[in-house]
Structure 1
Amino acid sequence: MKIHALWLSASVVTLAWCGAAAAQTTSSSAAKDEKASAVVQELVVTAERRTTNLQTTPIAATVLSGASLDQKGVLTVDQLQFAMPGVTVNNFGQGNDFNIRGIGKAEHNSQTTTGVITYRDGVATFPGYFQGEPYFDIARVEVLRGPQGTFVGQNATGGAVFITSQDPIIGGEHHGYLAGQLGNYADAAAQGAVNLPVSDTFAARLAFDTERRDSFYKVTGPGSNNPDVGTGSVRLGLLWKPTEALSVLFKTDYNYLDFGGYQADPVLATNDPFHITANFPTKALDRFVRTSLKIDYVMANGITLRSVTGFQKGNTAYQADLDGTSAANFTFGDSVNETTWSEELNLISPSTGRVSYVLGVYLQTDKLDFLPGQFFIDTPTGSIFTEYRLEGTNPKQTGAVFGQLGFKLTDSLELQVGGRYSDARTTNHVAIVQFGTPIRDDQTVKFSNASGKVSLNWTIDPHNFVYGFVATGFRPGGLNVPVGLGIPAPFGSEKVTEYEIGWKAGFLDGHLRTQLNAYYNNYQNFQVTIGFPTFPTFGFELNTPNPTKIYGMEAQAEAVFGPLSFDAGLGLMHSEIGAFFATDPRIPNTGACNPASGPASPSCINLDGHEQTYAPEFTFNIGGQYVFDLAGGDTLTPRLNYGHVSKQWATLFENAARGDQVSARDIVSAQLTWTHKDLVATLYSTNLTDQHYMGALNSGLRFMGPPRQYGVRLMKTF
Structure 2
Amino acid sequence: MKVLPLCLGVSALALTWGVPAFAQDDAATSTGTVTSESGQTAAGDRADSPNAVGEIVVTATRRSENLMTSPISASVLSGSQLANKGVTDVDALQFAMPSVVVNNFGQGNNFNVRGIGKAEHNTQTTTGVIVYRDGVPTFPGYVQGEPYYDIANIQLLRGPQGTIVGQNATGGAVFVNTNDPVIEGGVHGYVQAQAGNYADLGAQGAVNLPISDTFAMRVSLFGERRDGFYNITGPGGATYSDNNDLRMAAGRISFLWKPSANFSVLSKTDLGYMNFGAYPASPYWQSMKTLPNGSANPRYADLFDITANAPMGARDKFVRSILKLEYVTDGGMKFRSVSSLQNANTLYQTDLDGTSSDSLNPITLQPVPNSYFFDTVTETQVTQEFNIISPDNQRVTWLAGAFGLWNTYFFPAPYDNFTINVCYPVATNPACLYQLKGRNPERSLAAFGQIGFKITPSLKLEVGGRYTASRSTNHVDVMQYGTYIPDEQTVTSDNFSYKVSLGWQASPDQYLYGFVATGFRPGGLNVPVGLGLPTPFDPETVQSFEAGWKGNFLNGKLRTTLDGYYNNYKNFQVIIGYPNYPTFGIELNVPGTTKIYGFEATTELNLGNFSLNAGVNVLHSELAQFYASDSRLPSTTPCDPNAGPTSATCIDLKGREQTYAPNFTFNVGAQYKIPLGEKSTLTPRVNFGHIAPQWATLFENPALGDRLVARNVLNAQLELSRGDWSITAYATNLTDQHYPGALISGLYLAGPPRQYGVKIFKTF
Once the two structures are TM-superposed, the CA of residue 224 in structure 1 deviates from its matched residue by 5.7
* Residue in 2 that maps onto 1:648: 694
* Residue in 1 that maps onto 2:552: 506
1:14 aligns with 2:55: no
1:319 aligns with 2:349: yes
| 1:527 equivalent among 573, 578, 603 | 573
Structure 2 CA distance, aligned partners of 1:198 and 1:76?
32
Does the 8 Å CA contact 2:44/2:205 hold for their aligned counterparts?
no
Letter in 2 for 1:40: V
Identity fraction in percent: 57
Residue aligned with 1:131, SS? coil
Q: Aligned in 2, Cα 1:400/1:127: closer, same or farther, shift over 3 Å? A: same
Q: How does 1:148-547 map to 2 (within 5 A)?
A: 148-222=161-235, 225-269=242-286, 270-328=300-358, 329-372=370-413, 373-380=416-423, 382=426, 383-547=429-593
Residue aligned with 1:657, SS? helix
Q: How does 1:560-709 map to 2 (within 5 A)?
A: 560-709=606-755
Residue aligned with 1:78, SS? helix
**What root-mean-square deviation, in Å, do the aligned CA atoms of Structure 1 and Structure 2 show?**
1.5
Structure 2 CA distance, aligned partners of 1:376 and 1:538?
18
Q: Aligned in 2, Cα 1:39/1:643: closer, same or farther, shift over 3 Å? A: closer
* Greater alpha carbon shift after TM alignment, 558-567 vs 223-232: 223-232
Q: TM-score, normalising length from structure 1?
A: 0.95
| 2:89 equivalent among 53, 57, 76 | 76
Structure 1 CA distance, aligned partners of 2:154 and 2:479?
43
Does the 8 Å CA contact 1:116/1:159 hold for their aligned counterparts?
yes
Letter in 1 for 2:334: T
Structure 1 CA distance, aligned partners of 2:624 and 2:175?
32
Does the 8 Å CA contact 1:124/1:153 hold for their aligned counterparts?
no
Q: Aligned in 2, Cα 1:110/1:579: closer, same or farther, shift over 3 Å? A: same
* Greater alpha carbon shift after TM alignment, 478-487 vs 382-391: 382-391
Deviation digits for residues 658-712 of structure 1 (CA, Å, limit 9, x no counterpart): 1111111000000000111221100000000000011111111000000000000
Once the two structures are TM-superposed, the CA of residue 77 in structure 1 deviates from its matched residue by 0.4
Letter in 1 for 2:80: A
Once the two structures are TM-superposed, the CA of residue 380 in structure 1 deviates from its matched residue by 2.2
Q: How does 1:54-93 map to 2 (within 5 A)?
A: 54-93=67-106
Structure 1 CA distance, aligned partners of 2:91 and 2:736?
17
Structure 2 CA distance, aligned partners of 1:547 and 1:210?
47
Residue aligned with 2:592, SS? coil
Residue aligned with 2:670, SS? strand
Residue aligned with 2:655, SS? coil
Does the 8 Å CA contact 1:11/1:136 hold for their aligned counterparts?
no
Once the two structures are TM-superposed, the CA of residue 95 in structure 1 deviates from its matched residue by 0.5
* Residue in 2 that maps onto 1:7: none
Once the two structures are TM-superposed, the CA of residue 300 in structure 1 deviates from its matched residue by 2.8
Residue aligned with 1:571, SS? strand
Does the 8 Å CA contact 1:672/1:683 hold for their aligned counterparts?
yes
Q: Unaligned 5+ residue runs, structure 1?
A: 2-9, 23-34
* Residue in 2 that maps onto 1:43: 56
Structure 1 CA distance, aligned partners of 2:242 and 2:445?
44
Once the two structures are TM-superposed, the CA of residue 134 in structure 1 deviates from its matched residue by 1.0
Structure 2 CA distance, aligned partners of 1:437 and 1:611?
38
Residue aligned with 1:260, SS? coil
1:95 aligns with 2:141: no
Does the 8 Å CA contact 1:97/1:106 hold for their aligned counterparts?
yes
Once the two structures are TM-superposed, the CA of residue 61 in structure 1 deviates from its matched residue by 0.4
Does the 8 Å CA contact 1:116/1:160 hold for their aligned counterparts?
yes
Letter in 1 for 2:62: R
Does the 8 Å CA contact 1:49/1:152 hold for their aligned counterparts?
no
Residue aligned with 1:537, SS? coil
Letter in 1 for 2:139: F
Q: TM-score, normalising length from structure 2?
A: 0.89
Residue aligned with 1:297, SS? strand
* Residue in 1 that maps onto 2:18: none
* Residue in 2 that maps onto 1:29: none
1:125 aligns with 2:155: no
Letter in 2 for 1:391: K
Structure 1 CA distance, aligned partners of 2:108 and 2:374?
14
Q: Aligned in 2, Cα 1:182/1:431: closer, same or farther, shift over 3 Å? A: same
Letter in 2 for 1:49: R
Structure 2 CA distance, aligned partners of 1:221 and 1:537?
30
* Greater alpha carbon shift after TM alignment, 366-375 vs 180-189: 366-375
Residue aligned with 1:149, SS? coil
* Residue in 2 that maps onto 1:6: none
Structure 2 CA distance, aligned partners of 1:278 and 1:224?
10
Does the 8 Å CA contact 1:39/1:510 hold for their aligned counterparts?
no
Once the two structures are TM-superposed, the CA of residue 39 in structure 1 deviates from its matched residue by 5.6
Structure 1 CA distance, aligned partners of 2:260 and 2:707?
58
Q: Aligned in 2, Cα 1:528/1:224: closer, same or farther, shift over 3 Å? A: farther
Structure 1 CA distance, aligned partners of 2:619 and 2:67?
23
Residue aligned with 1:409, SS? strand
The alignment covers a number of residue pairs equal to: 692
Letter in 1 for 2:45: T
Letter in 1 for 2:260: T
Once the two structures are TM-superposed, the CA of residue 280 in structure 1 deviates from its matched residue by 1.1
Residue aligned with 2:84, SS? helix
| 1:140 equivalent among 122, 142, 153 | 153
Structure 1 CA distance, aligned partners of 2:606 and 2:448?
39
Q: Aligned in 2, Cα 1:337/1:39: closer, same or farther, shift over 3 Å? A: closer
Residue aligned with 1:41, SS? coil
Structure 1 CA distance, aligned partners of 2:657 and 2:269?
41
Structure 2 CA distance, aligned partners of 1:599 and 1:277?
41
Structure 2 CA distance, aligned partners of 1:679 and 1:360?
45
Does the 8 Å CA contact 2:191/2:762 hold for their aligned counterparts?
yes
Once the two structures are TM-superposed, the CA of residue 153 in structure 1 deviates from its matched residue by 5.0
Structure 2 CA distance, aligned partners of 1:475 and 1:649?
22
Once the two structures are TM-superposed, the CA of residue 590 in structure 1 deviates from its matched residue by 4.5
Structure 2 CA distance, aligned partners of 1:536 and 1:149?
35
Once the two structures are TM-superposed, the CA of residue 227 in structure 1 deviates from its matched residue by 4.9
Structure 2 CA distance, aligned partners of 1:155 and 1:577?
20
Deviation digits for residues 286-329 of structure 1 (CA, Å, limit 9, x no counterpart): 10011111111002321100000011000011011111001232
* Residue in 2 that maps onto 1:32: none
Does the 8 Å CA contact 2:168/2:522 hold for their aligned counterparts?
no
